[in-house]
A and B are shown apart, each in its own frame.
Chain A
Amino acid sequence: MSGRAENMIQLIDVSKEYKMADSCRVALQHINLTISEGEYIGILGLNQSGKSTLARLLNGLLKPTTGQVLINGMATDSPQEIRQIRQLLGMVFQNPDNQLICPVVEEEIAFGPENLGLPPEEVNKRVDWALELVGMQEMRYHAPHLLSGGQKQKVALASVLAMQPRYLVLDEPTSMLDPLSRREILEHLCRINQENHITIILISHHPEDLLDAKRLILLHEGSIYMQGTPKEVFKDMEKLKAIGLKRPGLYQLIQQVEEEGYRIDDNIKTIPQLVEMICRI
């Protein structure tokens, strides 16, 4: 291993096994992965593909059975550095209800910064900032249980952002939301990535969620199955079919158009964009 690598996440030959009563279930095997600061990574996988395990390995909720997970050079299995790792790498979970801890939105967002031991003025500043970032200022004094699912998830997002992480890991954050709030959360993630330069690692079993990703990692049965830009990954129909994944309609269209001999831009992310581009051709 070369010395401390700042500004990146490194997974070095990481495996994770769960011990059962009389057997052993392998969740991840021999994962090697490097994620640099500022990237937008999508991790796609079906159930049991190990994607949630991967998320929990990243901020030290789980420790790897073998191998090493390094966040900015700090290993997740060292107890002294775990606090700093968790400050650097925030997590948003799937169920919006089970990750909100406090009875008032404002205090929910202050929870993380409070635990970091920041002075109250700074905490206040961060609460204001985070609420504004997700557009929830008017909900500041509301009780979380009175919010809609999408709003809850935005509060969860804000409360992680208030810790000012460099990396943000989201474990299926949209799977319990309606399409509208899903879109909204994804737009927020894009903005946070571009304007605040926070690395996004978005985990989903829903290919449509991951179209914004710059790099898509496809997990299957605990290993990296494919990797590349969404366009590259979704091009390989056969390989996707082999593990039972459908590709998003957008990429189906793109491929059909390209087979006709036209060249489609890599940064086309929605069907209206595609339509506009085709019209210009």
Chain B
Amino acid sequence: MNDIKLGQYVHGYSLIHLLDPRTKIICCTFIVISILSNHNFWYLLAYLGLILAAIKYSGIPYKSIWRSMRGIRYLLLITFLFQAVLTPGEGLIQLGALSVTREGLSIGLINLLRLVILFLGSILLLMTTTPMKLSAGLEYLLLPLNKIKIPVQHFTTIISISFRFIPTLVEESIIIKDAQRSRGASFDSPKIFSNIKSYLAILIPLLASSMLRAEELAEAMDSRCYGGNPNQYRMQSLKYRRVDIYLIIFMTMVLFMGLFLG
């Protein structure tokens, strides 16, 4: 339970850690826009290099990133294969009725790169920003939505509570699973339906206990005067420094480069 999970915050003091969360969120948005609007292979490759450099700089070991990459390897593989096979064009290799095309390979490669960059970018954001800072940054950036009566603070409170409770729920589901198993339930039956059934037996107690948890949590929040007002303290801890501004200028330039090179 204690090893690093996908995208969980890793404490550190690198430049990337110390960046303002707003900067990081804005940069990630820029990454998404420029990646999705551009399909120049070399541009994407350069982008990948940029993100790898940022990861290196953040002090997060490549090993843990690599391990989390393995979680999406099938997604990557399938994306690549489908693109390679299903794109019409100049055939290279014939596989029965399907043919791998040159165009397919290049589009597949580009989409692969895009996915990897998106994944690495968001994982870097998550691993170098505490959930609270992240929600403070989101709250600040979304605050204008308050004007059209969208309760942004409630959303960010919900986000931070889910960050808090995901590990607790995982732990609890393991306990329930063990309890079921100790009474003879099997979770790796070859029959899909009996498998689904036994997982249902985990889900229902988990849901019931979550309801109870929610009630107690609400009481605890109430008794500490939670009022859903904007979280001034958290947001005031956000401070733009010179690096943040440089980085945003730099990323804007990269974004425009992407838009025009496209």
Residues of A with Cβ closer than 8 Å to B? 56, 59, 61, 83, 86-87, 90-91, 93, 95, 97-104, 107, 110-120, 123, 141, 143-146, 159-160, 163
Contacts and interface: CB of A to CB of B under 8 A. Distances in A.
A86 B217 contact: no
Given A99-B217, A114-B233, A59 B164 contact: no
A145 B174 CA distance: 15
Given A107-B132, A143-B167, A145-B171, A61 B229 contact: no
A129 B170 CA distance: 33
Contacts of A144: 164
Contacts of A93: 216, 219-220
Given A117-B229, A146-B2, A61 B219 contact: yes
A59 B163 CA distance: 28
A22 B225 CA distance: 34
Given A103-B163, A120-B236, A98 B213 contact: yes
B173 to A, nearest CB: 13
Interface string B218-262: 011111111101011110110000000000000000000000000
Interface string B169-199: 0010000000000000000000000000000
A61 B216 CA distance: 11
B131 A104 contact: yes
A83 B132 CA distance: 24
A208 B54 CA distance: 56
B236 to A, nearest CB: 5
Contacts of A116: 225
6 contacts: A59-B223, A61-B222, A86-B222, A100-B164, A103-B164, A110-B234
Contacts of B225: 83, 86-87, 112, 115-116, 163
A101 B171 contact: no
A67 B223 CA distance: 21
Interface of B: 2, 9, 11, 130-132, 160-161, 163-164, 167-168, 171, 212-213, 216-217, 219-227, 229, 231-234, 236-237
B220 A98 contact: yes
Contact of A101 (B161, B229, B232): B161
B168 A86 contact: no
Contacts of B160: 101-103
A103 to B, nearest CB: 4
A120 B167 CA distance: 29
A171 B168 CA distance: 22
Contact of B234 (A87, A103, A114, A163): A114
A145 B1 CA distance: 10
A112 to B, nearest CB: 4
B168 A145 contact: yes
Given A86-B223, A111-B224, A115-B225, A123 B233 contact: yes
Most chain-B CB neighbours within 10 Å: which of A86, A100, A101, A116? Answer: A101
A87 B222 CA distance: 11
B129 to A, nearest CB: 11
A118 B233 contact: yes
Contacts of B232: 114, 117, 120
Given A103-B132, A159-B224, A114 B231 contact: yes
Most chain-A CB neighbours within 10 Å: which of B212, B217, B219, B223? Answer: B223
A141 B11 contact: yes
A90 B223 contact: yes
Contacts of B233: 110, 113-114, 118-120, 123
